[in-house]
Amino acid sequence: MQIQENVPLAPLTTLEVGGPARYFAEATTVDEVRAAIDFSRSRNLGLFVLGGGSNLVIADAGWPGMMLKVGILGIDHHHGTPVVFDVGAGEEWDAFVSSVVRHQCAGVECLSGIPGSVGGTPVQNVGAYGQEVSQTIVSLDALDLTTGEVKELFNEDCQFRYRTSIFNTRARGRYVILRVRYGLHYHGSPSIEYADLKKYFAGWTTTPTLAQTREAVRQIRASKAMLIVPGDEDCRSAGSFFKNPVLAPEQFEELAMRASARKLTIPSFPALEAQKKVSAAWLVEHSGFSKGFGYGPVGISRKHALAIVNRGGAKAEDIIALRDQIQERVEVIWDIHLEPEPVFVGF
């Protein structure tokens, strides 16, 4: 394993902003992960684990410590009920989903087209189009930085919630995820619960296959610039920049009254028990930030109101300025604070 110095990080992220890492290493084995951690500790450096770079905003000053990319590969599967896929954290997520679908296993087909690596999926409980990885994760192996031991953490240990887990809340920075095991269903039916998918398959007289569902998801994501397409500046983003707010009933009622006063109807759907999940994209668009909004090198995707995009030459400070502007305006108009989805590094 080679430890490099002053490595540019912007090219390693989908948003393509940010400065360099003081030190950078890609570890392909557990021993190499340990060696990189020992190196950072011997120099009293901060440690950040880089996945696929799809959900990051890196500061213009970069990262002053060790940037560790976990490149552990390998996909094994064990037949049973469910079929368990044991996957290295460095595997590309969408390639893994493609492999699962080829094996005719259901459970992650609606998560097709999401950029990034397998190791990043448990951290934010990645979800889309009616599925979340927490529905399929059986367990994972993680290096505990407090003890130096590799632990197997089971689903319940991860405390998954909407876009959260212990890895981005109370145990942030404690673990390095090495492998993830997913329990999937052989010859299972695809999940066609999300409105966009129901619309896509409306009029079909046969049940879509897993492969057809995967292709539908990828086409829908492409229509919203949520599929990485080389040369498309609307894809130069960190994906959905804000989480959909989950509101208590009284909060939702107040929001509905504000919308009614403006002769608007809020699109919503049940999320958690006795709560409502509201479209962050709707809040953004009805706060004056329409698709295509922007100035200079930063703006909002022309295809999706939730994606802040780098139109070319943007700096992290430009991204942050637009984030702050959107949050402030939504809070003034709707009395809702939008929480960002990306991880902010070096700020």
Average pLDDT over residues 112-140: 94
Asked if residue 25 belongs to a domain, the reply is yes
Residue 195, pLDDT > 90, answer no
Same domain, 206 and 102: yes
- Distance in angstroms (rounded) separating the CA atoms of residues 256 and 250: 10
Residue 275, pLDDT > 70, answer no
Same domain, 148 and 219: yes
Mean pLDDT in the chain?
93
Of the listed ranges 138-142, 165-169, 189-193, 222-226, the one predicted with least confidence = 222-226
CB neighbours of residue 330 within 10 Å? 22
Residue 1, pLDDT > 60, answer yes
Same domain, 130 and 262: no
Q: What is the domain-level CATH number for residue 209?
A: 3.30.465.10
Same domain, 152 and 181: yes
**Phi–psi pair at 39, nearest 5 degrees:** -60, -45
β partners of residue 8: 20
Average pLDDT over residues 31-36: 96
Into how many domains does the chain fold?
A: 3
Among 70, 97, 114, where does a domain finish? 70
The pLDDT assigned to 225 comes to 79
Q: Binning pLDDT at 50, 70 and 90, where does residue 274 land?
A: low
- Distance in angstroms (rounded) separating the CA atoms of residues 338 and 300: 16
Asked if residue 187 belongs to a domain, the reply is yes
Q: What is the domain-level CATH number for residue 38?
A: 3.30.43.10
HSE value, Cβ hemisphere, 13 Å, CA-based, for 207: 9
Average pLDDT over residues 6-26: 96
Report how far apart, in Å, the C-alpha atoms of 222 and of each of 87, 99, 129, 138, 151 are. 26, 20, 14, 30, 38
Same domain, 215 and 82: yes
| 135-158 pLDDT per residue, tens | 999 999 999 999 999 999 999 999
Among 198, 223, 248, where does a domain finish? 223
Average pLDDT over residues 323-334: 97
β partners of residue 140: 153, 180
- Distance in angstroms (rounded) separating the CA atoms of residues 65 and 46: 5
Check residue 3 and report its DSSP letter. Answer: P
Please check whether residue 23 is in contact with residue 4, taking contact to mean a CB–CB distance below 8 angstroms.
Answer: yes
Residue 64 class from Cβ within 10 Å (0-12 exposed, 13-18 middle, 19+ buried)?
middle
Q: Binning pLDDT at 50, 70 and 90, where does residue 347 land?
A: very high
Same domain, 247 and 302: yes
Q: What is the domain-level CATH number for residue 284?
A: 3.90.78.10
The pLDDT assigned to 273 comes to 47
Copy the structure tokens of residue 32. Answer: 């190499």
Among 49, 70, 91, where does a domain finish? 70
Same domain, 48 and 107: no
Residue 272, pLDDT > 80, answer no
Provide, rounded to the nearest whole percent, the portion of the chain with pLDDT above 70. Answer: 98
- Distance in angstroms (rounded) separating the CA atoms of residues 20 and 8: 4
The pLDDT assigned to 224 comes to 85
| 35-90 pLDDT per residue, tens | 999 999 999 999 999 988 888 999 999 999 999 999 999 999 988 889 999 999 99
Q: Binning pLDDT at 50, 70 and 90, where does residue 270 land?
A: low
Same domain, 214 and 247: no
Same domain, 31 and 153: no
Asked if residue 228 belongs to a domain, the reply is no
Residue 345, pLDDT > 60, answer yes
The pLDDT assigned to 155 comes to 98
Average pLDDT over residues 99-106: 96
Copy the structure tokens of residue 86. Answer: 């044991």
Same domain, 54 and 178: no
The H or E element containing residue 40 is: helix 30-42
Same domain, 41 and 125: no
The pLDDT assigned to 269 comes to 61
CB neighbours of residue 6 within 10 Å? 11
Residue 271, pLDDT > 70, answer no
Strands 56-58 and 343-345, how do they pair?
A: parallel
Asked if residue 212 belongs to a domain, the reply is yes
Catalytic residues, by residue number, are 163, 240, 341
Average pLDDT over residues 244-268: 90
Domain of residue 31, residue span = 4-70
Asked if residue 252 belongs to a domain, the reply is yes
Tell me how many degrees the CA angle 155-158-162 measures, rounded to the nearest 5.
100
